[in-house]
Each structure stands twice: as structure tokens, then as C-alpha cells.
Chains A and B, each alone.
Chain A
């Protein structure tokens, strides 16, 4: 079982795709160019504060709104190791898995955890924080395969070798 520890950035409910990456930056050439503007309508400084390996914890309906795939891509480009939320909007959920971004559902961690604290994730099993253990469920096998390959395109490569 994979385990990692990271620092928490705490966000609220209904973090929408226009907050994750506003429309005006979608025309930038690469996701790397967009990343500094991630979450800017809500917290302009956040993108520069997030360090590789950090973890985003949020409330319900994370990623609601547009189908723009730049949303999970920007989060990944910022180096976020995983997002832990009470629930996800479905298009964002698919897009995140397809881009190899780990999403974890947990109902209570967002109420307990303080921003800046560290948590430990035992993938598919539990989260440890402040001496307390929060159970999490494992993703279905077909989604895990995509995630482990690093996204759907890479999983396609593994499956039928059609990627260069």
C-alpha cells in the first residue's frame, strides 16, 4: 500500500472550475503557464504557496462547473499530491482520474483539519491526522489502472501500445 505525508491547504464547499482556473487564462500556451493563476479568484497567493507534495482538503462538490480539463491539470501542475473532499462534481472526477490526479472522498476530515498541518494518507485505506484515523475507500480497479498509469492516455498506451 502506498503511503505519503503532506501539508494541507484547506478550501470550502463548491470550489468551481472558474476558481480553479479562470477563463481569461485558458488561452495561455501551457498548463504550466496557467498554474500561477490557479485558485486566483478565491486566493490569489495560493498558487505560489503550494509546494510539490502538498494536499488540498475541501468540502462538498469540488470541481463543479465547466468540463475544462485544465482544472485538474493545473492542480497537478502545482504539484498537489492529492485532493481530499467530501464529494466531487462528476466531470471533474473523470478529468482528474484521466490526468492521473488522485482524488479521495472523506466526509469529516475537512471539519477537523487545520490549514498548514500535516496529514498522512494510506492510499485506499485511511488518513491519519492528529492521532485520529479517517477511513477512506479504494477506487474501483479500472480507475486505479488509469491512475497508476498516469492518466487515461498513458493507460491506453499500456493497453494497446498506440502512444509514441
Chain B
């Protein structure tokens, strides 16, 4: 019997010939990523160990991205703890460089790896053919000290993509549509694998966007095959070479296969307060907004900024509406600068922020008040996620966000 990509990556990490869904295996991890959301807690636990040691510091990557720049004495203290520990222990450390998953994709992840991240959206690394999964800080600590962990091999839901997305329909619309279709726990404990002819029409940016959001369907990880587009991305980003390139075998077992024609996808939004609370954009047209956000690990890449800029060029942000544009990394920021995109946004009245998680996690930038409405390319729209518990977050694509920022209300991306 053949294996899925998820099974092959876990088999590799477990040093086993073959593994099957449902089995529990002890694995060696390739990377352990952690950010300023919880690293200070990990350090506190580490310091309580007797004779603590780091199994392999080369595997640790620590990234300050959630509160950058620091917004309070409390976060300053927890970030100082993280910075000092990283320096004292020779841990790879980034600060202000960008959102953790974007940095991992740009600089570290290679196909075939098994990676734990102390952040739920670690499943983004599937875009590079790697098995990324989110864990809490206790699991992280265990991996940091032992170099490994235990994992249950997930069943796989397979998505066979054909065709091409229409103009101004994005990968974000696709993955929101899929989450709406299978539900917020539709892939709980599962791997989501994306294959098919349609993949050749999806850029690396699209692929990261798709894999990144799979946790909102409960997925343990998301996976894609490595192709020329993946290899070109790795080459352009430091000339990285795959550890292993896996495809599911013809006789691998999938719990279910979905066929999706990309040309049938339309612009959608997720309404408050659940990511699977899906509606076509046209259905919520006219909802007044107070703020628009273009950024995050889901949609803060150069392709998203190009799309947003192409729509807002020559227009102005609506009166009394704040439009936050937050490149996902310094690389994206500088590229946008070179292409004149930041000029276009500023000309329109947008605020350009430094690369960070921003209002997506409702802490250091652009937090919204009671009764306010945000249209966002962020990852979540849970009650209170972006600020006050009585505020409202709609999730949509870069195109929908940019068009809505002009209109001052949610509108179709085809409006301008």
C-alpha cells in the first residue's frame, strides 16, 4: 500500500520504512520556530529544568513579529528575555524582519522537512513541500530539549485543483471557500493535500496563502508537491536545496478527495465571528467599515501589495476610514518600495506600517474599538480578535480589502 506526502515526511523523520495514518511515532524535528507570542513562557519553563540543554541550536529559529515595535513595558520585558536568551545560546534570531512564517519561507524551510512552530499558522510551510504544524510552548520545550517529539500520523483530505482563478479572484478566496465548504473543524487532525493541473496556475504566494489558512479548518498540516515553481522560489531565496521531494503514491489512501475547478471560485468574505461563516462578497455589499487591513502571513506578500495597489491607484481611501498596509517582510517592503507601490498606497491615504503581525492578532497596531468594523486579509475573525469584544472583523482578499477601503464599505473587488 502506498503512502501520502504526510506519511512519507513522517516516515523520514521517524527513520521508518513506512508509516500509516493513525500510528503514533517518535520523530526528529528539522526546525523549531518560535515567536514573541509565547517564547518567554518557554524560557521560563526551560530555566526550571535541572541541567537544561538545547539538543541542537541550529534547529531553533526565533522571530519577534507579534509586537513590533514593542508596545508596552510588559512586552518589552518578555522580548528582552527572548533576545538575551537567543544571544546567550547562539539561537538564530530575527526582529522586525517580518512575520515569522514569511521569514521561514523566505530563508529556512526546504521540502521534505518536519517542522514544529509555536504558532498555529505553521502549516504554511506545506507550500514548500514541508510538514509544518503548530504546537504550544510545552511541546516546543520538549522539542528544544530532546530534538524530537511524538506525532500521530494524520489522515489526508485531498484537493484536486483544475483550471485557473478568474481575474481579481485570489488564492485567499479559494481557501476561504474550501473552509466554508468543509467547516472550521472539517479537517481536524487531518493533513490537507493540494494537487492537480491547477497548481501550475498558482504562484508561491498563492500556495503559502492556501496552506497558511488550513488550520482554520482544523488541519494539522497542509501539503503540496514540489514543482518547478517551488524550486525556482528556493533558488531565488538563498539557493536552497530540498531535503526530499515527495508525492503521494497512486495507491495511497485518502480519506476523501475533493475536485475543485478554480474558474468557479468567486470573491468571498468570512463574516464575523467565524472563518467558515462564508458569503459571496456581493451578499455583504454595503456593510460600512472603519478600517481596512492589507497584510499578515496570509496576504502581506508582494503579489498582494501589487494587486491592492493596482485597484487603489488613482483613488482615495474613504473619509474617516483607516487603511493599514503592512508588508509581511523587509524583502516585501523593499520590493514594494522599488516598484513604487508604497507611493501609490500613500498617495491614496493609506498608512504603511513596518513588517509585523499588526491588527491580525489585535495587539500592537490598528486595534479597533467597540462597534467598529474591520475588513481584513488577516487570518482570523473571532469575536474580539482585532480589539474590542464588541467589534466585527470580515476577512477577504487583498483585492476586496483595497476596493472596500476606497468605498468605505464592503464592495466587490470589481468595483474599481
Which of A's residues lie within 8 Å of B, judged by CB? 14, 16-19, 22-24, 26-29, 40-42, 60-61, 64-70, 72, 87-91, 94-95, 98-99, 140, 142, 151-153, 156, 161-164
Contact = CB atoms under 8 A, between A and B. Distances in A.
B136 A95 contact: yes
Given A89-B218, A156-B142, A67 B188 contact: no
Contact of B72 (A27, A151, A152): A27
B136 A67 contact: yes
A24 B363 contact: yes
B136 A65 contact: no
A60 B218 CA distance: 11
Interface in B364-397: 380, 382-385, 387, 389
Given A16-B382, A27-B75, A94 B185 contact: no
A91 B120 contact: yes
A40 B24 CA distance: 36
Interface string B37-72: 110010001001111100000000000000000001
Given A19-B384, A66-B120, A153-B141, A164 B50 contact: yes
29 contacts: A18-B385, A19-B384, A23-B362, A26-B37, A41-B389, A61-B184, A61-B188, A61-B218, A65-B120, A65-B380, A66-B120, A67-B119, A67-B120, A67-B134, A67-B136, A69-B38, A69-B41, A70-B38, A88-B188, A90-B220, A140-B24, A152-B139, A152-B141, A153-B45, A153-B48, A156-B145, A161-B50, A162-B50, A162-B145
A90 B214 CA distance: 13
Contact of A89 (B37, B138, B145, B188): B188
A64 B213 CA distance: 13
B74 A27 contact: yes
A142 B142 CA distance: 15
Most buried by B among A28, A64, A70, A142: A64
Contacts of B189: 90
A151 B117 CA distance: 20
Given A14-B274, A16-B382, A89-B185, A68 B51 contact: no
Contacts of A140: 24
B85 interface: no
B336 to A, nearest CB: 27
Contacts of A90: 188-189, 218, 220
B389 A22 contact: yes
Given A27-B75, A61-B188, A95-B135, 20 more contacts: A14-B184, A14-B274, A26-B37, A41-B384, A61-B185, A61-B218, A65-B380, A67-B119, A67-B135, A68-B38, A69-B38, A70-B38, A72-B136, A90-B218, A91-B134, A91-B215, A151-B138, A153-B48, A163-B48, A164-B50
Looking at chain B, what size class is its interface with the partner chain? 35 or more
Contacts of B48: 153, 163-164
A60 B185 contact: yes
B361 interface: yes
Contacts of B385: 18, 23
A98 B136 contact: yes
Nearest to B51: A162
Nearest to B78: A27
Nearest to B47: A164
Contacts of B136: 67-69, 72, 91, 94-95, 98
A150 B383 CA distance: 31
A43 to B, nearest CB: 11
A162 B139 contact: no
B137 interface: yes
Nearest to B386: A23
Contact of A98 (B138, B145, B215): B138
B138 A152 contact: yes
Contact of B38 (A64, A67, A99, A161): A67
A16 B274 CA distance: 9
A18 B275 CA distance: 13
Interface in B245-275: 274
A142 B24 CA distance: 10
A46 to B, nearest CB: 13
Contacts of B72: 27
Contacts of B188: 61, 87-90
B185 A163 contact: no
Contacts of A61: 184-185, 188, 218
